[in-house]
A and B are shown apart, each in its own frame.
Chain A
Amino acid sequence: DTAVSQTPKYLVTQMGNDKSIKCEQNLGHDTMYWYKQDSKKFLKIMFSYNNKELIINETVPNRFSPKSPDKAHLNLHINSLELGDSAVYFCASAFSGLAEVFFGPGTRLTVL
């Protein structure tokens, strides 16, 4: 079974819409992340949650709002989508204090 799963795998939408990406991990990790990979393959952290508390927010626009209902889930909601939001979004998880991070398969978001 997939350790870190994301839905949907592909998301195509119009500018101005609001969309959500869901993430779940079954590894028992206490820390979850969202990373963004742009069209040049560059990966950068967006958010990190530890035990449902936000611990890292990398100056992401407030149109992006992560929500962690429990330790196993970290969802990403995006309001008023813009063309520049088109990217692949990766969810990831880890045990706090350990640097080994496990990534989900990614969600390719295309904003038209």
Chain B
Amino acid sequence: AQSVTQLDSHVSVSEGTPVLLRCNYSSSYSPSLFWYVQHPNKGLQLLLKYTSAATLVKGINGFEAEFKKSETSFHLTKPSAHMSDAAEYFCVVSDSSYKLIFGSGTRLLVRP
């Protein structure tokens, strides 16, 4: 069965410093992986997706993620945090029936 583990429930960074949100996945086949962002009291927005093409995936708002099969990881990064990046981030894997399985979320706090 597919699953994802987000290793940090909260991450706090200063504005202008790099962001790293960690995600490990478990899948019995080559997975489709996603990162979604949820701003307070808002819906879910797709940041980026990996679907077995390039292992380094670029998304919106300067975010990117690297698929590492040997480490079963799909960590989300951004070189320089902005105050508007403060939100909840979800790592997601899609199973064979295209059902999305969500991680528990990481809350990103950005300090001025």
Q: Is the CB of A43 within 8 A of B90?
A: yes
Q: Is the CB of A44 within 8 A of B102?
A: yes
Q: Contact check: which of A42, A96, A99, A104 meets B100 at CB < 8 Å?
A: A99
Query: Chain B residues near A60 (CB, 8 Å)?
Result: none
Q: How far is the CA of A90 from the CA of B105 in the complex (A)?
A: 16
Q: Is the CB of A41 within 8 A of B88?
A: yes
**6 A-B contact pairs sorted by A residue (CB < 8 Å):** A42-B105, A43-B44, A55-B97, A97-B98, A103-B36, A106-B43
- Distance to closest chain A CB from B42 (angstroms): 7
Q: Is the CB of B97 within 8 A of A56?
A: yes
Chain B interface category by residue count: 20 to 34
**B80 contacts the other chain (CB 8 A):** no
Q: Is the CB of B102 within 8 A of A43?
A: yes
Q: How far is the CA of A40 from the CA of B98 in the complex (A)?
A: 24
**B34 contacts the other chain (CB 8 A):** yes
Measuring CB to CB, which residues of chain B are less than 8 angstroms from any residue of chain A?
32, 34, 36, 38, 42-46, 49, 51, 88, 90, 94, 97-102, 104-105
Q: A55-B97, A94-B98, A97-B98 are in contact. Are A41 and B43 (CB under 8 A)?
A: no
Q: Which residue of A lies closest to B105 (CB)?
A: A41
Q: How far is the CA of A15 from the CA of B67 in the complex (A)?
A: 46
Given contact pairs A43-B102, A56-B97, A96-B98, enumerate 13 new A-B contacts (beta carbons under 8 Å): A31-B98, A41-B104, A42-B104, A43-B90, A45-B101, A55-B97, A56-B99, A98-B98, A99-B51, A99-B98, A99-B100, A101-B100, A105-B42
**A48 contacts the other chain (CB 8 A):** yes
Q: How far is the CA of A66 from the CA of B32 in the complex (A)?
A: 27
Q: Contact check: which of B36, B42, B51, B102 meets A42 at CB < 8 Å?
A: B102
**A1 contacts the other chain (CB 8 A):** no
Query: Chain A residues near B102 (CB, 8 Å)?
Result: 42-44
Q: Which residue of A lies closest to B42 (CB)?
A: A105
